[in-house]
């Protein structure tokens, strides 16, 4: 059974919008705003008074906002900056020029409400056990080799194999058992 994971619950966070800090320097205003447009300059509607503003962006990471995002805006006078995303659907990019590692002393989980995609020239999975649970599994490869040192078992409701070219089975002993019917059909059948 597939587990539904709330990524914010994994880190103990809440989906509620972030609250403004209680101690703000004189003349500085901090509050939430809704992104209303991303055509050209990003336009937000301030919760404080409903006014429209075009703030600068002061996030420590690249973020492409989307209409409907809720952002934290700080400002003094007519100048405003977005300093955090309280709730967003836009894209965030974390990029480093060299090698990078993501590690945990305990469990490490990656979760996405819509999808998780891993892209690279090569992908290596090394583990003592690998569990895959999916409603549908689709694998496409130009060539594939599967090596099982012990016993390999396939348990399925039904199996259909389609080989467009020739198929060869090489084994010390082969047993085909049909509890109701075993059928070999071909224009030419050679046994022995």
**Every domain of the chain and the residues it spans:** 12-92
Query: Distance of alpha carbon 48 from its chain centroid, rounded?
Result: 35
Q: Do the strands 56-57 and 52-53 form a parallel or antiparallel pair, or are they unpaired? A: unpaired
Nearest to 44 by CA among 100, 96, 85: 85
- The answer to whether 116 and 110 are in contact (CB under 8 A) is yes
- The pLDDT of residue 188 is 86
Q: What share of the chain is helix, strand, coil (3-state, %, to 5)?
A: 0, 20, 80
pLDDT (tens digit, 9 = 90+) per residue, 66-100? 999 999 999 888 899 999 999 998 888 888 889 99
- The pLDDT of residue 183 is 87
pLDDT (tens digit, 9 = 90+) per residue, 3-12? 444 444 544 4
Range 42-78 burial, b when 16+ CB lie within 10 A, else e:
bbbbbeeeeeebebeeeeeeebebeeebbbbbbbeee
Residues sharing a CB contact under 8 Å with residue 32, sequence separation 6 or more, in sequence order:
17, 18, 20, 47, 70, 71, 72, 73, 86
Nearest to 84 by CA among 50, 138, 35: 35
46 sits in which H/E element: strand 43-46
CATH 3.40.1550.10 fits 12-92, yes or no: no
For residues 15-34, average pLDDT:
70
pLDDT of 56 higher than 80? yes
What tokens were used for 33? 């705003």
At residue 192 the predicted structure's pLDDT band, cuts being 50, 70 and 90, is: confident
Distance CA(95)–CA(98), nearest Å, equals: 9
């Amino acid at each position: 059974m597939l587990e539904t994971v709330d990524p914010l619950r994994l880190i103990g966070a809440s989906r509620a919008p972030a609250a403004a800090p209680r101690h703000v320097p004189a003349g500085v205003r901090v509050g939430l705003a809704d992104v209303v447009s991303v055509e050209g300059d990003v336009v937000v509607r301030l919760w404080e008074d409903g006014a429209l503003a075009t703030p600068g962006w002061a996030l420590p990471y690249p973020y492409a906002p989307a209409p409907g995002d809720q952002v934290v805006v700080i400002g003094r006078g007519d100048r405003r900056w977005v300093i955090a995303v309280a709730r967003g659907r836009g894209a965030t990019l974390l990029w480093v020029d060299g090698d990078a590692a993501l590690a945990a002393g305990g469990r490490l989980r990656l979760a996405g409400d819509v999808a998780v995609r891993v892209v690279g020239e090569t992908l290596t999975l090394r583990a003592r056990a690998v569990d895959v649970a999916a409603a549908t599994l689709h694998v496409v490869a130009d060539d594939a080799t599967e090596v099982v040192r012990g016993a390999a078992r396939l348990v399925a409701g039904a199996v259909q194999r389609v080989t467009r070219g020739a198929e060869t089975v090489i084994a010390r002993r082969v047993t085909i058992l049909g509890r109701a019917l075993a059928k070999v059909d071909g224009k030419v059948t050679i046994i022995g």
